[in-house]
Amino acid sequence: MQSPIFRASCMALFISLVLNQAIAQPASEAIEIITVSATPISIDDAGSSVSVISRQDILDRNAASVQDLLREVPGFSVSQQGSHGAVSQVRIRGAEANQVLVLINGIEVNDLAQGSEFDFSQISTNDIERIEIVRGPQSALWGSDAMAGVIHIITMPNTDHSSFDASIESGSFSTQRATFSANHGSSRHQAKFSVDYLDSDGTNIARSGSEDDGLENLTLSLAGRYATSDNLSLAYTIRHTDKTSEFDAIDFFTTGLPVDADYETVSKYFYSGVSITHVINNTFDHSLKVSRTDTDNETSASNPDKDITRGVRDAFKYQFNYLGGANRLSLRIEHKTEDYEQRGTASFFGDPNQNLDAKTDSFASEYRYVGDRFNFSLSGRHDNNSEFDDADSWRMTGNFKLPQATLFASVGESIKNPTFTERFGFFTNFIGNPDLEPEESLHWEIGARTSLLNDKLDLALTYFDANLENEINGFVFDFGTGGFTSGNVDGESERKGVELELRYAQSEQFDLKATYTYLDATQQDFNGSDVTEVRRPEHTGSLTMNYRWQQAGLNFAVSYTGAQEDNFFPPFPPYQERVELNAFTLVSLSGYYNVNDLVTVTARLENITDEDYEQVYGFTSPGIGGYLGFRLKW
């Protein structure tokens, strides 16, 4: 099955080489993308689809949430369950949210206590230096959660001087926000300490009632690097988030939809890591990284006792690199332990109280050839899992630089391990299945990058195709117990589509970016027929424009999410049905004015058209909102 697809991708690549002779040569990129390969490479050398959200992009956009930024990335779709602070899922190319690996300064932060997903509502944009995104199969280097791509959020400072930043903002829904950052920079040591506090009454996420669902979020972070010598350096990250988010109940007996309730979830996230890099000589270097992800989620709902999930992941990684001119070889050894704890009230379906653990030992390698006109990489990984089947993954990429174009292609097989809850159950009426097998995906892509109009216009076009086997269906009704369970689905789920990205910089004063994604994501139902997968819009797109004066700037942003399907669980009969979510368009306008070198005034309007929309069936999203703020920098 692999070889015909690989031959087809090679043939498509050869055809593209012939047909693209009229495309202008792309400008080289200076930004290093550490999530693309085992060793840093530039965008222009990458054999995968890559996007970068820079610090300047964040300041121009003046976006308060990472979700708003990710809506404007090709191949991405965002689903948030209502108001600010509600659970936010991000899918890449139609994959599930827990098939996307999220890193913060190289630390894996997917929450194993919440189905191995990362809830993007916990993180703000205050201390983010840039976000590096690579789409496509990445398990060969990054393991189970990287089946569809990697999102690397970098807060590590990059400065040679010391400075301070502070801001306050107030606006709709009784929203108050305050931030502070202290940056230290010298030839040997760069460090940044940040505080971010957000409090909002939120909006009502239910279709009926009037009770608002608010958010309170406090994040403290410290990140830095210290070079003890020219050959030895240390990098460190400590990050703590304390988040309280309110939500509504589900009316299981009448409508099956959200209704007003005084429920809340208190989440505490702690991420820490330290890495040491030693450069032996110009040919050899190696590094050691130790990290911990510790999450705690306590939900107060209808039960007198809290429902609690906790997860701790400890990771140890050692990597050795050979850098022999055009040839590079990286060898990586990893050891990971994961501990899962669940506490709740016993019911008819069983006792949810459990303590579980799993261990994974991995060996990964990557060979990379870096030439003037041709780049090639081959990587592979073996995971030895203590609790279920071992798994292998691989990936191959190619990058061709023609006089008039740069083209790239990649193909690989990635895996996704079953989660703790899928294997052992989740609170009341979800029964686990300890016999689940890892999911497997064969994913390939082919694309082109180019620049036109004297490098003012950058274009990227990609076609992708992914076939998923052993997909885990987490909503299989068990007639024996009257609850739901998980099961590996027979047959394949197919995700294919096209991504287009355009950037135009007419001058330093004006630039724009446009993206479009077409996605066809289907899976087989129990009758063997292909059906559209839920929360996968067929069409998504965005347009952002920036105009800058000497002391001011203005940003206009539009994001479009096409019609999509979702699952609905009516009270009777006890199984799911398909419903449609209408397409929606979000328009925002933001700007800033530099009063002087110290003070900047900021303003932002969100959802200007007051669009009435749902990203998850039954959960309403906020209407129009306005915010005014002040930034200080000295």
Mean pLDDT of the chain: 89
CA angle at residue 623 from 618 to 625, to 5 degrees?
145
- Is the CA virtual torsion 506, 508, 514, 515 positive or negative? positive
User: In whole angstroms, what is the distance from residue 197 CA to residue 175 CA?
Assistant: 11
Mean pLDDT on 170-193: 95
- Per-residue pLDDT at 341 exceeds 90: yes
**C-alpha torsion angle, residues 422, 423, 428, 430 (rounded to 10):** 50
Query: What does the pLDDT look like over 138-149, one tens digit per residue?
Result: 999 999 999 999
Percent of the chain clearing pLDDT 90 (strictly above): 70
pLDDT for position 86: 87
Mean pLDDT on 55-64: 89
**Which pLDDT band holds residue 309 (cuts at 50, 70, 90)?**
very high
Please tell me the number of Cα atoms within 13 Å of 248 on its side-chain side. 26
Q: Is residue 138 within a helix (H) or strand (E), and if so which, with residue range?
A: none
Mean pLDDT on 312-341: 96
Torsion angles phi and psi, residue 499, rounded to 5: -120, 135
The domains of the chain, with CATH numbers, are 2-633 (2.40.170.20)
- Per-residue pLDDT at 410 exceeds 90: yes
- DSSP H helices, 315-388, are none
- Per-residue pLDDT at 17 exceeds 50: no
pLDDT for position 41: 85
Torsion angles phi and psi, residue 56, rounded to 5: -65, -40
pLDDT for position 34: 67
pLDDT for position 405: 87
Residue whose entry in the numeric block shows the structure tokens 């087989």: 524
- DSSP H helices, 107-199, are 139-142
In a 3-state reduction of DSSP, which class is residue 112? helix
Query: What does the pLDDT look like over 555-604, one tens digit per residue?
Result: 999 999 999 999 998 887 767 789 999 999 999 999 999 999 999 999 99
**Which pLDDT band holds residue 13 (cuts at 50, 70, 90)?**
very low
pLDDT for position 490: 82
Query: What does the pLDDT look like over 81-140, one tens digit per residue?
Result: 888 888 899 999 999 999 999 999 999 999 999 899 999 999 989 899 999 999 999 999
CA angle at residue 329 from 326 to 330, to 5 degrees?
140
Which one of 17-21, 34-38, 454-458, 609-613 scores highest in mean pLDDT?
609-613
pLDDT for position 245: 94
Of residues 76 and 41, more confidently modeled? 76
Of residues 611 and 529, more confidently modeled? 611
Mean pLDDT on 202-206: 93
pLDDT for position 226: 95
pLDDT for position 33: 66
- Per-residue pLDDT at 8 exceeds 70: no
Query: What does the pLDDT look like over 47-57, one tens digit per residue?
Result: 999 999 999 99
Percent of the chain clearing pLDDT 70 (strictly above): 91
pTM given for the model: 0.92
C-beta of residue 539 within 8 angstroms of C-beta of residue 560 = yes
- Per-residue pLDDT at 1 exceeds 90: no
pLDDT for position 166: 96
What the block records as the tokens of 521 is 């994501």
Q: Is residue 381 within a helix (H) or strand (E), and if so which, with residue range?
A: strand 374-385
C-beta of residue 191 within 8 angstroms of C-beta of residue 228 = no
Query: What does the pLDDT look like over 444-458, one tens digit per residue?
Result: 999 999 999 988 999
User: Helix (H) and strand (E) counts for the chain?
Assistant: 5, 39
pLDDT for position 429: 63
pLDDT for position 481: 63
Query: What does the pLDDT look like over 467-487, one tens digit per residue?
Result: 999 988 877 766 666 667 888
C-beta of residue 81 within 8 angstroms of C-beta of residue 615 = yes
User: What one-character-per-residue DSSP string does 195-215 give?
Assistant: EEEEEEEEE--SSSS---EEE
**Which pLDDT band holds residue 31 (cuts at 50, 70, 90)?**
low
Query: What does the pLDDT look like over 507-536, one tens digit per residue?
Result: 889 999 999 999 999 987 767 778 999 999
**Which pLDDT band holds residue 366 (cuts at 50, 70, 90)?**
very high
- Per-residue pLDDT at 304 exceeds 50: yes
DSSP 281: S
